[in-house]
Chain A
Amino acid sequence: MTRPGELENHTIVVRVENKAGVLARVADLFARRGYNIFSLAVAPTNDERFSKITIVVTVESTPLDQIVKQLFKLVNVVEIAQLPADQSVERELLLATVDAPAKTRGEVLEIVDIFEGKIVAVSGEQLTVSLDGRPDKLDDFEALLSEYTISDLQRSGRIALPKIGRQAARLRAV
């Protein structure tokens, strides 16, 4: 399955103070321009005063630069990094419940096996499977599973870190 505008996806990692309302402020800057956030993952960092928000957004680079600068103006935003795919490690988690009656169960299990996914729940007619890995790997996995009727699916949204030795393009705080 191809996702719209995948080629123009930008990954932005925003370190914020762990305070109420911060996510809304960040999301607002995209919403106000009518940009859709493609994926979003938020969780506290190893320093619990801060959270990291990983945003994947489909947008041209000029407005993105402007948005990044305006993100920086938010008082609770501590740091922003833009992570190009080739300079970062990206991971995502996928959970899917797939129809797997006896007739096709073997095929589904084979796909899960090839991708080194896991079976996390089983019933007579369905399997819930999980896979973590690079987002494009998850895309392929999802495409193959969709041949077998996916009744429910949730992806975690992308998270990313710069490759060791590569410094993410960091922007000066204001």
Chain B
Amino acid sequence: MSDQEPIRLNGGQALIKSLEMEGVEVIFGYPGGAILPVYDPIIDSKIRHVLVRHEQGAGHAAEGYAHATGRPGVCMVTSGPAATNIVTPLADAYLDSVPMVCITGQVALAAIGTDAFQECDTTGITRSVTKHNMLVTRAEDIPMAVKEAFHIATTGRPGPVLIDIPKNIVDANNPDAYFDFVYPDTVDLPGYSPDGRPSDDSIDAALELLAAAERPVLYVGGGVLKARAAEAVLRLAEMGDIPVVTTLMARGAVPDDHELCLGMPGMHGNYTAVTAIQRCDLLIAMGSRFDDRVTGKVGAFAPDAKVIHVDIDPAEHGKVRIPEVSVVGDCRLVCEALLAKLEVKGGASAFADHTPWRQQVSGWQEKYPLVYQSSESGELLKPQHVIESLRDSCPPDTIVTSGVGQHQMFASQYWTFNHPYTWINSGGLGTMGFSIPAAIGAKAAYPDRMVWAVDGDGCFQMTAQELITASVEKIPIKVALLNNAYLGMVRQWQELFYDNRYSEVYLSHDMPDYVKWAESMGCVAFRVEDPDEIAATIAKANAINDRPVVVEFRCVEEENVFPMVPAGGSNDDIIVDPSQEQPAHSTAAQDASMTDAQRTGEKAK
């Protein structure tokens, strides 16, 4: 045990003290009856508490903080409705492997199971959306619960951990809630011993495939960021002259400006990233999980490739695609182990010559760049144009968060991510409303960096109230609201796959009045309705540092995200922008005589 002097504390004080011992800087939270006793000692703590306006915001802010820093985000809410309000962020953090510790109040132990006021079975409800959760039943167990929660959330494959705290064990008026506090320095978890070190055999087997490959692709996923492995991955790519694709969760892990980086694969990935995977003979999946949004039809995914799968979670191996070589381990340790052995074998000379492959890939890049048709003065804006202008006028270390929808895909496609941890979005769960609270979390972590939330009009209406949080707490984020008057992504699917039958996707450009709404929440707000005003308005927004800023960009309604692989379709059937010649291997090409709309509509059937 530790050599700290025990101090007499009640459970509430012990909880806050434990968080201090874990080095927590900020808690995103919202008080209420069951958690009241824990809010009292917050007044005396050096930990900052950010009072959100909805518990979902607390959870996403904690996620944003964690994505940006790599340290666990902390949120705290009361029982019942607050606990259910935070289920979405927990599920989000679970699917995207975000380290997070969530503390929920609970009714007193004696009342549990009686349908007491604001009681819900929080550990039951959250069991399947947390890496682990626990109901603490004695005040003296609180320090160990916190210690374990942080340990579990941050080690192995990271994830959210929830601690449910009955009111009586933190109640200052309950003599049984007092005990001699000592913060433990070790945990005792016999069933949990994550080990990131890969086996030698798996490394050797991977090396064999690497040496033989003529057309390799590194398929880099969020696990690379979680493992702080970006640098090691880049070294491996450079040594082996291996093209890299970065998934939606890994944008920035390898710089977009790097000649080996092909950008994002998947449903809305660019042609080259998608096609390089389809044609490669070796796919090195590095901290990625063969999500259906990347693979499309699994049977047609990377048909010629052998697969090396590197992931710390054994349950990911063989879940979707059986790999030829399975390397269970931490991406950084795996890359370092590979690099060490490769150095001995002569570095670059341990690989085959990939020049022909690189040339083939460059050919695709030239033939199928990302394109869109610009709008003219006086017309509404193109969302892609907005993202490009934003990209070109923000400092390189700007953090971009996003909501879910077309705007998310445009942001991922058109921003140039040259640094890890500058792109924060909801990939696995696809949670609308993620961007504003996540931006608050990131900005709370890095007050000196610029943080832009790229949001859709639909998403904005889900969590806009957190702009009040941003104003009051002086967390001056900026929001680029791509207002296309529609639930655009759903509208796109209805256009392409439901014969233009638009069902419940229209929102309108001017209801609500976003500028007034933003102003009423303490933000500076601008509206841009002409492409010629984009750059100047962004410059104005970037010059404001003392308040949150919302820039409403009035975008065209009908823009679609291309390229696109229809859901469940083969990646070979990728549809590129209608202004481009459809690739010969795509069924879209066979409909070339039709109009664009007919062709894309036809695809659905």
Residues of B within 8 A of A25 (CB): 127
State in angstroms the CA–CA spacing of A66 and B313 once bound together: 12
The one of A21, A28, A75 in contact with B192, judged by C-beta atoms closer than 8 angstroms, is A75
What's the minimum C-beta distance from A34 to chain B, rounded to whole angstroms?
14
B135 within 8 A of A: yes
B346 within 8 A of A: no
Residues of B within 8 A of A73 (CB): 131, 313, 315
Contact between chains at B124 and A24 (CB < 8 Å) = yes
A164 within 8 A of B: no
Contact between chains at A69 and B315 (CB < 8 Å) = yes
Residues of A within 8 A of B135 (CB): 20-21
A65-B318 contact given A21-B123, A24-B127, A174-B156, CB 8 Å threshold: yes
Contact between chains at B191 and A66 (CB < 8 Å) = no
The one of A28, A79, A174 in contact with B127, judged by C-beta atoms closer than 8 angstroms, is A28
State in angstroms the CA–CA spacing of A54 and B443 once bound together: 49
Interface mask (A143-172 → B, CB under 8 Å = 1, otherwise 0): 000000000000000000000000000001
What's the minimum C-beta distance from A94 to chain B, rounded to whole angstroms?
32
Contact between chains at A28 and B315 (CB < 8 Å) = no
Interface mask (A12-33 → B, CB under 8 Å = 1, otherwise 0): 0000110011001100100010
What's the minimum C-beta distance from A18 to chain B, rounded to whole angstroms?
11
State in angstroms the CA–CA spacing of A161 and B458 once bound together: 57
Q: Which of B165-193 contact A (CB under 8 A)?
A: 189-193
State in angstroms the CA–CA spacing of A79 and B192 once bound together: 10
A40 within 8 A of B: no
What's the minimum C-beta distance from A20 to chain B, rounded to whole angstroms?
7
A74-B191 contact given A25-B127, A28-B127, A66-B319, CB 8 Å threshold: yes
Kindly name the residue among B135, B156, B314 whose own CB sees the greatest number of chain A CB atoms within 10 A. Answer: B314
State in angstroms the CA–CA spacing of A16 and B489 once bound together: 45
Contact between chains at B127 and A173 (CB < 8 Å) = no
Residues of B within 8 A of A21 (CB): 123, 127, 135
What's the minimum C-beta distance from A135 to chain B, rounded to whole angstroms?
28
A78-B190 contact given A24-B124, A32-B128, A174-B156, CB 8 Å threshold: yes
Residues of B within 8 A of A16 (CB): 191
B391 within 8 A of A: no
Contact between chains at B124 and A78 (CB < 8 Å) = no
B509 within 8 A of A: no
Residues of A within 8 A of B156 (CB): 174
State in angstroms the CA–CA spacing of A72 and B313 once bound together: 10
B449 within 8 A of A: no
A45 within 8 A of B: no
Closest-by-CB residue of A relative to B148 is A75
What's the minimum C-beta distance from A148 to chain B, rounded to whole angstroms?
42
The one of A28, A65, A69, A75 in contact with B191, judged by C-beta atoms closer than 8 angstroms, is A75
A131 within 8 A of B: no
Contact between chains at B315 and A66 (CB < 8 Å) = yes
What's the minimum C-beta distance from B31 to chain A, rounded to whole angstroms?
26
A70 within 8 A of B: yes
Provide the main secondary structure of the chain A interface.
mixed
A88 within 8 A of B: no
State in angstroms the CA–CA spacing of A72 and B191 once bound together: 8
B32 within 8 A of A: no
Contact between chains at A70 and B315 (CB < 8 Å) = yes
Residues of B within 8 A of A17 (CB): 190-191
Contact between chains at B193 and A173 (CB < 8 Å) = yes
Contact between chains at B189 and A75 (CB < 8 Å) = yes
Interface mask (B188-227 → A, CB under 8 Å = 1, otherwise 0): 0111111100000000000000000000000000000000
Closest-by-CB residue of B relative to A79 is B191
State in angstroms the CA–CA spacing of A32 and B127 once bound together: 12
Residues of B within 8 A of A172 (CB): 314
Contact between chains at B132 and A75 (CB < 8 Å) = yes
A76 within 8 A of B: yes
Closest-by-CB residue of A relative to B133 is A21
Residues of A within 8 A of B313 (CB): 73, 174
A83 within 8 A of B: no
Residues of B within 8 A of A70 (CB): 315
What's the minimum C-beta distance from A26 to chain B, rounded to whole angstroms?
11
Closest-by-CB residue of A relative to B312 is A174
B152 within 8 A of A: yes
Closest-by-CB residue of B relative to A32 is B128
What's the minimum C-beta distance from B327 to chain A, rounded to whole angstroms?
14
The one of A72, A76, A77 in contact with B315, judged by C-beta atoms closer than 8 angstroms, is A72
What's the minimum C-beta distance from B200 to chain A, rounded to whole angstroms?
15
Closest-by-CB residue of B relative to A172 is B314
Residues of B within 8 A of A65 (CB): 318
Residues of B within 8 A of A69 (CB): 314-315, 317
Closest-by-CB residue of B relative to A78 is B191
Residues of A within 8 A of B317 (CB): 69
State in angstroms the CA–CA spacing of A167 and B193 once bound together: 22
State in angstroms the CA–CA spacing of A79 and B132 once bound together: 17
State in angstroms the CA–CA spacing of A65 and B322 once bound together: 12
Closest-by-CB residue of B relative to A49 is B190
Q: Which of A77-128 contact B (CB under 8 A)?
A: 77-79
Closest-by-CB residue of A relative to B189 is A75
Residues of B within 8 A of A24 (CB): 124, 127
Can you name 6 A-B residue pairings with CB atoms under 8 Å? Answer: A17-B191, A21-B127, A69-B314, A76-B191, A174-B156, A174-B192
Q: Beyond A21-B127, A50-B190, A78-B191: 4 further Cβ-contacts under 8 Å?
A: A49-B190, A66-B315, A72-B315, A75-B191
Closest 3 A-B residue pairs measured CB to CB?
A69-B315, A78-B191, A75-B132
